[in-house]
Structure 1
């Protein structure tokens, strides 16, 4: 789309109001950012999963953070963001492709969760953020960052500071209805240097203070309640802001009965026969997708067909 500047002539209501991300910059591009708010896409991602409110909130923040990272890193391929800890919430996984299709999952202990506090360390305990970038062409990259701070965005900011050496400000919000996020960064100058002082550093400090107004219960509630364009307008209506791109974000798990069947067929007859006898419903197998909650059932006839069907592709042919 064409660039839009924040002037009185801009019709902010004409911009998409949900499930889109907005890339923007200030002045001559020394500070850039990405903002998003997802509603329909987020509800589609969790509609078959019975996540407690604390889990939905933290997983939603992880999704928003991962999509913002994909938009800021600009590569072709897949990004996997994984938070693994020893707390009541032991695992958060988000997979996002460069075309902004995502899927996500979480694991938690309900009894421990009921007794936990609200900070990131209360919910996840000691652990680490594992960021994996899998480009369509080129070498796979992985970075490990300790889970620190009171909120999930602090760990992601730590990645940018440690691995990208880019001053970054990030605010994330989420509940079972919507998720939102805003990321701003000071961009490197000639030679890849990010100056610690001067006009660019001062501009980033100024923009960062405006973003800081979203920190806290009231600010995060505002992020969830208003559209991304409205939030940008409220925060930066006095700044020389330019919107460079508006892009759709979609939930897409990618699982299918065929893919699950291929996985089962790879187990072999002996293991499948044992599973048919030992499953919760004898005579049938049930496989639930960890990412979208879809349930796939296979009875004895289905299993026999899988084992005799030469058309079943090997499990290496699918991502699920």
Structure 2
């Protein structure tokens, strides 16, 4: 079954929601590398979160979410573009032993150095245009709370997330209160406003239920009494955008002195894309060509270290 992202809106309010199931994409990510259980859970949750946030962006480009720090888990990266093409990877300290119950702060924020980064990278940049990047301290014990705090403080948007992932499934629910427009408010009718009521209903959702229940059933189960407008579904999927040219750009950013030193030691450079495992090799002639070609430097691809 194809992965699905379902957007919906509570009628006559400024409250919108999304449900996503990206289990097939998640399986593609896991096929590239074996992760400890705790890392797998966090990376799977980030994958759903990236799809949910990307679906509300009105620009042609990609959202890149990163969590990094000073624990045994050094880096988590998830990328999702405006077509819902997705990829993800994680980097661990060599030899790290990680318990199944390890929490996000334990994994990346051992000494308070954890950071959460969101980058909005337009596909076709105007002259002089740079990607927008927001970097904040890691504020929260879970992926959901980290993103909720970021959205409230950096974007001034009330956002709630429910995320879950295991070996087979990655799913998520997002509720968001949009800025008030045209006199429409989030108060609705009754004793509780629509925002408070929708959050209250969604908060009955438990992790096991989110993992074991398809999103169509979840929608009915949670909001069956609400007046909801449902939009056409979208379908995320795995796609890695690495190319030989982008790897060459990464080498160019390292500088000719470092590349020449590595060539002298190893004879050629071998680099594997951490997202998809694609193998690239550069001999001395290839590397010399990189530094005489005035090609634009593209976004870095997290890649395995240069090796024999």
Using structure 2 for the length normalisation, give the TM-score: 0.80
Distance in 2 (alpha carbons) for counterparts of 1:264 and 1:18: 36
- Structure 1 unmatched ranges of 5 or more: 1-16
Q: CA deviation at 1:249?
A: 0.7
Q: CA deviation at 1:55?
A: 1.4
* Matches for 1:75-114 after TM superposition, within 5 Å: 75-109=59-93, 111-114=95-98
Alignment correspondent of 2:305: none
222, 230, 237: which is aligned to 1:243?
230
199, 203, 206: which is aligned to 1:212?
203
272, 278, 282: which is aligned to 1:288?
272
Deviations 1:157-205 (A, max 9, x none): 011111222221101112232211110112222379976x664971111
State the SS of the aligned residue for 2:232.
Answer: strand
139, 147, 159: which is aligned to 1:148?
139
Distance in 1 (alpha carbons) for counterparts of 2:254 and 2:136: 35
Distance in 2 (alpha carbons) for counterparts of 1:188 and 1:267: 43
* Matches for 1:75-224 after TM superposition, within 5 Å: 75-109=59-93, 111-114=95-98, 117-125=101-109, 126=112, 127-135=114-122, 136=124, 140-190=131-181, 199=189, 202-214=193-205, 219-224=206-211
1:27 aligns with 2:18: no
Q: CA deviation at 1:112?
A: 4.6
Pick which of 70-79 and 256-265 moved more.
Answer: 256-265
Q: CA deviation at 1:225?
A: 2.7
Q: CA deviation at 1:106?
A: 1.2
Distance in 1 (alpha carbons) for counterparts of 2:152 and 2:290: 52
Distance in 2 (alpha carbons) for counterparts of 1:35 and 1:101: 17
281, 295, 306: which is aligned to 1:314?
295
State the SS of the aligned residue for 1:99.
Answer: coil
Distance in 1 (alpha carbons) for counterparts of 2:181 and 2:174: 22
CA contact (8 A) 2:23 2:169 kept: yes
CA contact (8 A) 2:38 2:103 kept: no
Q: CA deviation at 1:223?
A: 2.0
Distance in 1 (alpha carbons) for counterparts of 2:60 and 2:246: 24
State the SS of the aligned residue for 1:23.
Answer: strand
Distance in 1 (alpha carbons) for counterparts of 2:253 and 2:71: 34
203, 210, 230: which is aligned to 2:217?
230
- Structure 2 unmatched ranges of 5 or more: 302-308
Deviations 1:13-59 (A, max 9, x none): xxxx5412111011224210111011221222231222222212111
